[in-house]
């Protein structure tokens, strides 16, 4: 058999134990907040029917879908000379790996609508796949932590999402700003520019403002066919300053002739009023250039920025009025937000905010001196675990130096040992691996000692 060099696909990763402990800390923290706000967990399959996914993310999204070849002779009866990959794919692929969690959620709601109670509040924490070019901070396989409420038009839901965002990042110790906008405000801007039919082009370009700057955004708008006159009218919107209320007052004046723009202002004002009632301490900033690229957003949009790290958004979302309509269920408004586990990990790592306790999850190693001593030690091991102390026993009889090295390499702070003398007195020896101090005592006293020192 030929030796194969071990490798993994580009854009995917293995995770070491310490990385997994840190990732689980992120997931557990987010999950706790979700559940405290009465959101319920669901899961959807890793793969969906390609018909569910295609056409939901735009042309670029279709290109980035991982498509799964049909089993067996997938070329049978298919004209393989078809030059367009997107036209050939549906003929040889019936399934694809999910691109995000939102479209599968919309499919889930429609398929299970008779089993759900609306408004339905769900969270979902699963991997997604995109056939993107791998680069720093961008992977082909990554986790999303999504939370949505569907079947309600109330702006209280938007405020609750901001409240959860505040609570999650407060628990992490990450300072953030929540940037908000409303697609109706962007529609109002398009009205003012006399380019009402070009909202998608305007939003797509404005969405790149942070990445490419104002000059490049204006160049792209020109390339997309937006008139130079409209681009000139857009310039003051790039310079909106002052408090949220001052920005809203200014927009109210600008949107005197735009009904949809006025509606957007009204929704933002009410959403911020709810945020005040919920006493959200995190800064919330109205940013009228915030666009978010996904076309299915129809109302509020959110983006979360870390204050102390130069990184892209670490969370984002918005309201969608008819996402389930693509699967036949009309008039089902929802709002949601997604937290990027990978970027949160990078921020926590850079700011050194991971709890030190994650570095050494095992607190006690019970040494193994032989068959008789092992039987005696196993009783102590059980009592340690029953007391809530993470402990393990060295599984083989080995030299004490080897077992001590094992404890040091794993960062285990305490070692318990028992030889013939300890067994006669029904006691154990406890060693603090950091200070080197040793003491002999019964297991109950040792447990109390460990619990007081941890």
Neighbouring residues of 406: CB distance < 8 A, sequence distance ≥ 6: 365, 394
**φ, ψ for residue 313 (rounded to 5)?**
-65, 145
Q: Which residues on adjacent β-strands are paired with residue 429?
A: 417, 440
pLDDT for 85 equals 57
Give pTM, 2 decimals.
Answer: 0.89
End-to-end alpha carbon distance in the chain: 51
Whether residue 334 contacts residue 325, with contact meaning beta carbons closer than 8 Å, is answered with no
Domain 17-192+237-350 falls under CATH 3.30.930.10: yes
The ranges of the chain annotated as CATH 3.40.50.800 are 360-453
**Residue 234 CB-density burial (10 A; 0-12 exposed, 13-18 middle, 19+ buried):** buried
DSSP reduced 3-state for 96: strand
The label of the residue with tokens 């702006």 reads: 155
CA distance 264 to 291: 13
pLDDT for 25 equals 98
pLDDT for 74 equals 64
Q: Which residues on adjacent β-strands are paired with residue 96?
A: 48, 67
Structure tokens at 412: 């285990």
Q: In the CATH scheme, what architecture does the domain 360-453 have?
A: 3-Layer(aba) Sandwich (3.40)
Cis peptide leading into 323, omega within 30 of 0? no
Neighbouring residues of 241: CB distance < 8 A, sequence distance ≥ 6: 247
What's the length of the chain?
454
pLDDT for 78 equals 64
Report the DSSP pairing between strands 364-366 and 391-393.
parallel
The ranges of the chain annotated as CATH 3.30.930.10 are 17-192+237-350
CA distance 21 to 389: 17
pLDDT for 14 equals 96
Q: What percent of the chain is helix, strand and coil (3-state, nearest 5)? A: 45, 20, 35
pLDDT for 1 equals 66
Q: What is the mean pLDDT of each run of 10 residues along the chain (454 residues)?
A: 87 95 98 98 96 83 88 65 62 89 94 97 97 85 96 97 98 98 89 74 73 79 79 76 92 91 96 97 92 80 95 92 88 94 94 94 96 94 97 95 96 95 95 95 95 88
Whether residue 311 contacts residue 343, with contact meaning beta carbons closer than 8 Å, is answered with yes
Distance set, CA 411 to CA 65, 86, 283, 402 (Å): 43, 52, 39, 14
């Amino acid at each position: 058999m030929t030796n194969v060099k071990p490798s993994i696909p580009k854009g995917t990763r293995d995770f070491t134990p310490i990385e997994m402990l840190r990732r689980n800390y992120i997931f557990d923290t987010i999950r706790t907040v979700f559940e405290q706000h009465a959101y319920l967990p669901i899961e959807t399959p890793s793969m969906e029917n390609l018909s569910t996914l295609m056409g939901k993310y735009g042309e670029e999204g279709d290109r980035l879908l991982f498509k799964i070849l049909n089993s067996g002779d997938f070329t049978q009866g298919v004209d393989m000379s078809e030059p367009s990959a997107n036209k050939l794919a549906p003929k040889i692929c019936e399934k694809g790996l999910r691109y995000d969690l939102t479209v599968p959620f919309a499919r889930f709601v429609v398929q299970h609508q008779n089993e759900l109670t609306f408004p339905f509040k769900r969270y979902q924490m699963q991997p997604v796949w995109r056939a993107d070019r791998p680069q720093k901070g961008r992977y082909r396989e990554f986790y999303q932590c999504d939370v949505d409420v569907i079947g309600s038009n109330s702006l209280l839901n938007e405020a609750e999402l901001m409240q959860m965002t505040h609570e999650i990042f407060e628990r992490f110790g990450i300072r953030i700003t929540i940037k908000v906008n409303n697609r109706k405000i962007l529609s109002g801007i398009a009205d003012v520019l006399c380019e009402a039919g070009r909202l998608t082009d305007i939003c797509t370009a404005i969405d790149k403002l942070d990445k490419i700057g104002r000059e490049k955004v204006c160049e792209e708008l020109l390339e997309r066919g937006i008139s130079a006159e409209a681009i000139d009218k857009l310039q003051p919107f790039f310079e909106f300053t002052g408090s949220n209320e001052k920005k809203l007052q200014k927009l109210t004046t600008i949107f005197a002739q735009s009904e949809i723009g006025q509606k957007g202002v009204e929704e933002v004002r009410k959403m911020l009023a709810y945020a005040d009632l919920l006493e959200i301490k995190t800064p919330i900033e109205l940013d009228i250039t915030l666009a978010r690229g996904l076309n299915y957003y129809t109302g509020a949009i959110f983006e979360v920025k870390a204050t102390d790290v130069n990184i892209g958004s670490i969370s984002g979302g918005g309201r969608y009025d008819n996402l389930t309509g693509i699967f036949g269920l009309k008039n089902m408004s929802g709002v949601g937000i997604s937290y990027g586990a990978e970027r949160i990990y990078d921020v926590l790592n850079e700011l050194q905010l991971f709890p030190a306790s994650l570095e050494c999850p095992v607190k006690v190693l019970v040494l193994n001196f032989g068959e008789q001593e092992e039987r005696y030690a196993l009783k102590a091991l059980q009592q340690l675990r029953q007391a809530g102390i993470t402990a393990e026993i060295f599984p083989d009889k080995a030299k004490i130096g080897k077992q001590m090295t094992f404890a040091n390499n794993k960062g285990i702070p305490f070692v318990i040992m028992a030889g013939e003398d300890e067994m006669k007195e029904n006691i154990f020896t406890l060693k603090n691996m950091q200070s080197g101090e040793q003491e002999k005592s019964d297991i109950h006293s040792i447990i109390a000692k460990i619990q007081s020192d941890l």
